[in-house]
Structure 1
């Protein structure tokens, strides 16, 4: 889709550029973390100066609609994600806090080419394999969650690590990578045959689906995590305090 600015309009160019950007960010093409065209290309397409374009971009960045990373580019913010929270817990910490003993029913490691949405999150290309960790976990009497984790190659994981131990402790002690920030997206879905087999439930059964995006202390992405929970085995609680 091509976007144009009306140079004969009395509306200021930066205001028109801002309006067009608001249309661009809802275009499915730029969802899942895909970057917008760079400023030079976009300014050329709109026939405006980079200064005018940057004025419009800055407005949307300020509003939290766009995310800009120096030397990398500008992309649409995922508005379905939760706001930043520094009091989140890892799965192991969550279960320990509840006094639940966890068992690993399955643990698989593989090196795979990332899907575009994973590569976009990590800001890498899709032609480089990354480590994928799959785990089925639960109580002693049976599984209640299937996890899939992808890790940024920057971390340096080899696949030889002991992933039966708490994940973020391993990242911190072996690689000096501290998981500082988690953003999450939670929804409900019906279990596919594959997920149903992992969780020992009937296909079509309700499942809580949680995406977790984990960042280090420098707000750099380190893990893309997907969790599929049995609906009767997990309760998600949010606590908010008004100051």
Structure 2
């Protein structure tokens, strides 16, 4: 298969790279878990930066179409199926829809250096400071979810915003950034002492852990979000539609 990108096209390079990767995934040559070309070689062949290529790779990794292991390479997920949820709502919208009044117990804003996982998702270096937002939220009688959000520097949040407002309302109305795609991973975990203290439960108690990756209209990453929910206080419902 010929691998090339049109550098004169109006279509962003990372979107062209993503489509090319999707074509590779569909090629029988790479079916059944075979490895893709080396990341460095592929970036050189396409005449794009590794950061641009990695942005496309990350998208497909989070969709479950690719599996990447550090020091080994990236391969096609054998028999992979991508499921898309069509009922994505912000936390405030979710709670409003359920008729649940929400209280903010803690709200912390800081500027931090991202770890490798967050930096890799954003396609930036770990030496680049980004905004970190931590929120402990729940019903008036007690907290049931602890959120940690990291934002791409491109979003241009200052940290002075009123984060008591719905987050995506701030992004859309104040910064003209529309969050259009959310990709999520949901797992069950045992609460660490830190999380247990936040959620007022015993260490080792079950919590629902949700990792959410949010993209704008151009499929550019804008938020990396981690959520820890009390298992006895929250039910996560997903509605999927077959396309």
Provide TM-score, normalisation by structure 2: 0.72
Q: 2:5: which partner in 1?
A: none
Q: State the shift of 1:39 in Å.
A: 2.1
Q: 1:37: which partner in 2?
A: 40
Q: 1:163: which partner in 2?
A: 163
Within 5 Å, which residues of 2 pair with 1:190-201?
Answer: 190-201=190-201
State the Cα RMSD in Å.
2.9
Give unmatched runs, 5+ long, in structure 1.
1-14, 26-34, 42-49, 55-67
For 1:130 and 1:122, locate their aligned partners in 2 and report how far apart those are by CA, in whole Å: 10
Structure with bigger gyration radius: 1
Tell me, yes or no, if structure 1 residue 207 matches structure 2 residue 207: yes
Q: 1:72: which partner in 2?
A: 52
Instruction: Name the SS of the counterpart of 2:178 in structure 1.
Output: coil
Q: Deviations over 1:155-191 (max 9, x none)?
A: 1100000001100000111100001110000000000
Q: 2:34: which partner in 1?
A: 22
Paired positions, count: 196
Instruction: Name the SS of the counterpart of 2:173 in structure 1.
Output: helix
Q: 1:45: which partner in 2?
A: none
Q: State the shift of 1:72 in Å.
A: 1.2
Is residue 180–residue 215 contact of structure 1 (8 Å, CA) maintained in 2?
Answer: yes
Q: 2:101: which partner in 1?
A: 101
Q: 2:173: which partner in 1?
A: 173
Moved over 4 A (4+): 68-71, 79-82
Provide TM-score, normalisation by structure 1: 0.72
Give unmatched runs, 5+ long, in structure 2.
1-26, 66-81
For 1:69 and 1:210, locate their aligned partners in 2 and report how far apart those are by CA, in whole Å: 31
Q: 2:128: which partner in 1?
A: 128
Instruction: Name the SS of the counterpart of 2:40 in structure 1.
Output: coil
